[in-house]
Amino acid sequence: MTMSTVLPCDRLVELMPDFLDDPGLLSCEEMEHFAQCLRCQAEMARFRRLRRTLASLRHRPVPADHGIFDDILEGLDSAAERRERHRVASRRAASIVGLAAATAAGVGGVLVLATRRRSA
Amino acid sequence: MVALRAVTDVARPGHSELAVLVAEARAGDRSAFDALVRRTWSGTYALAFRLTGDAEDARDVCQEAYLRAYRGLRRFRGDARFTTWLYRITANCASTHLGRRRRHRHEELDDDLELSDLSPSIDPVGRSESASLRDAVQKALAALPPKLRAVVVLRDIYDLSHEVIAAELGISVSAAKVRLHRARHRLRDDVFLRSEAEGRSHDDVDRPAV
């Protein structure tokens, strides 16, 4: 009886996608089966070929409208403008709050002085 | 009619050159960031297109990715390549974009990818075989559900780790591995088994009746 009748090929084929990332995934028994079984080797070759082809796609051209570059820059410009407007608005609000606080403090001071003078 | 041109990251920008631009951009130099965009947009768009399978979606994802990169540039520590960092942002944007799209339209994105080959290899036999395999793989990729496509694109095309993929897609590492497992099986079935089955059925038709 050969190993390939003991270990079903289907089980190994099921493991093959993970085996690509982790060659230590198979047990010694499974490795032994793999070394003997042409069907499993052919399946593994398919997965490896698939992965090589996928890796080769990284540097393949993709059709694109060159206007995308301009759109990206426009988007960045708009974001920068929005940020600047927000910064100016925040600064203006802070100035108004500061002015209001100073006015309130001044009015408060005048009131205190007036009250003291009256009581004196 | 919009003029199309093939973009690729074949002409990859030098890492030291990018590092200088990143440093200048981090110091607040907007023109340096524009230069970074000029050098990297084609690769970013290619990834966005492969993740979404749709030119308009890829355009939106690409724009959003650069906006996020611009806002988050100070957080980029430089311990990874700038392009890898950008790919992570793009993957995250694509995941968000596709999720939003599905919620609004309840549709799967499985348009066929039409990719062109502008740099043929020297060996004509190997070229035709690898070109047909590439075509078959691209079609099978486009037919995958977006969730499966995302992990296989990020892992097998862009070589990102399971941990990074999981983080950017907002899933656990084990979920990322399960999706990758299923995606690779489906691609194998679509690319090899289906074409073999079709070949056999053609043979049956061609064989004369006895």
Residues of B in contact with A67 (CB under 8 A): 2
**Is the separation of the CB atoms in B162 and B135 below 8 Å?**
no
B18-52 burial code (b ≥16 CB/10 A, e <16): beebbebbeeeeeebbbbbbebbbbbbbbbbbbbb
Nearest CA of chain B to the CA of A32: how many Å?
23
Contact B62 A68 (CB under 8 A): yes
pTM of the full structure:
0.71
**Is the separation of the CB atoms in A53 and B133 below 8 Å?**
yes
The predicted-structure confidence for B153-198, as pLDDT tens digits, reads as follows: 999 999 999 999 999 999 999 999 999 999 999 999 999 987 666 6
Shared domain for B24 and B104, answered yes or no, is yes
pLDDT of residue B184: 95
Mutation target vs B (from A49, A50, A77; most B CBs, 10 A cutoff): A50
Nearest CA of chain B to the CA of A97: how many Å?
28
pLDDT tier at B129, thresholds 50, 70, 90:
low
**How many angstroms separate the CA atoms of B17 and A50, rounded?**
34
Nearest CA of chain B to the CA of A65: how many Å?
5
pLDDT of residue B193: 81
**Is the separation of the CB atoms in A25 and A15 below 8 Å?**
yes
Residue B140's domain is classified under what CATH number? 1.10.10.10
pLDDT of residue B117: 39
Tell me: pLDDT of B35 over 90: yes
pLDDT of residue A62: 87
Tell me: pLDDT of B2 over 50: no
| Residue (of B144, B102, B113) closest to B47 by Cα position | B113
Residue B90's domain is classified under what CATH number? 1.10.1740.10
Tell me: pLDDT of B109 over 70: no
pLDDT tier at B18, thresholds 50, 70, 90:
confident
The predicted-structure confidence for B47-105, as pLDDT tens digits, reads as follows: 999 999 889 999 999 999 999 999 999 888 776 789 999 999 999 999 998 887 766 65
* HEC-encoded secondary structure of chain B: CCCEEEECCCCCCCHHHHHHHHHHHHCCCHHHHHHHHHHHHHHHHHHHHHHHCCHHHHHHHHHHHHHHHHHHHHHCCCCCCHHHHHHHHHHHHHHHHHHHHHHHHCCCCCCCCCCCCCCCCCCHHHHHHHHHHHHHHHHHHHHCCHHHHHHHHHHHHCCCCHHHHHHHHCCCHHHHHHHHHHHHHHHHHHHHHHHHHHHHHHHHHHCCCC
**How many angstroms separate the CA atoms of B96 and B84, rounded?**
18
User: Is B165 in CB contact (< 8 Å) with chain A?
Assistant: no
Mutation target vs A (from B121, B133, B188, B193; most A CBs, 10 A cutoff): B188
Candidates A53, A58, A76; nearest CB to B133: A53
Domain boundary among the residues B49, B79, B109 is at B109
User: Is B196 in CB contact (< 8 Å) with chain A?
Assistant: no
| Residue-range definition of the domain harbouring residue B66 | 12-109
pLDDT tier at B206, thresholds 50, 70, 90:
low
Q: Which residue of B has its CA nearest to A59?
A: B10
Measured in residues, chain B has a length of 210
Q: Of A4-13, B12-21, B100-109, which one has max mean pLDDT?
A: B12-21
Tokens of A94: 């802070």
- For range A20-33, the mean pLDDT: 86
- For range A26-34, the mean pLDDT: 87
Q: Which residues of A touch B (CB under 8 A)?
A: 17-18, 20-21, 46-47, 49-51, 53-69, 71-73, 75-76, 79-80
**How many angstroms separate the CA atoms of B157 and A88, rounded?**
45
Domain boundary among the residues B80, B109, B138 is at B109
Tell me: pLDDT of A1 over 80: no
pLDDT of residue B199: 65
Q: Of B26-40, B91-105, B108-122, B193-207, which one has max mean pLDDT?
A: B26-40
Shared domain for B151 and B92, answered yes or no, is no
- What is the value of ipTM here, to two decimals? 0.71
Angle between helices A9-19 and A28-36 (to 10 degrees): 110
Domain locations along chain A: 3-57
Q: Which residue of A has its CA nearest to B193?
A: A46
Contact A71 B118 (CB under 8 A): no
Q: What percent of chain B has pLDDT over 70?
A: 72
Tell me the average pLDDT of chain A: 85
Tell me: pLDDT of B44 over 90: yes
Lowest mean pLDDT across A32-41, B12-21, B113-122: B113-122
Question: Residue B56 domain-assigned?
Answer: yes
**Is the separation of the CB atoms in B88 and B65 below 8 Å?**
no
Split into its structural domains, chain B has a count of: 2
Question: Residue B179 domain-assigned?
Answer: yes
Shared domain for B130 and B179, answered yes or no, is yes
Helix (H) or strand (E) segment spanning residue A110: helix A67-119
For residue A25, give the DSSP letter. G
Q: What percent of chain A has pLDDT over 70?
A: 94
**How many angstroms separate the CA atoms of B152 and B174, rounded?**
14
Q: What are phi and psi of B144, to 5 degrees?
A: -70, 150
Question: Residue B105 domain-assigned?
Answer: yes
Candidates B3, B37, B117; nearest CB to A66: B3
Shared domain for B16 and B102, answered yes or no, is yes
| Higher-pLDDT residue of B210, B80 | B80
Using DSSP, state whether A62 is helix, strand or coil.
strand
Contact A61 B10 (CB under 8 A): yes
Contact B134 A57 (CB under 8 A): yes
The predicted-structure confidence for A91-116, as pLDDT tens digits, reads as follows: 888 888 888 888 888 888 888 888 88
Tell me: pLDDT of B22 over 80: yes
pLDDT tier at B36, thresholds 50, 70, 90:
very high
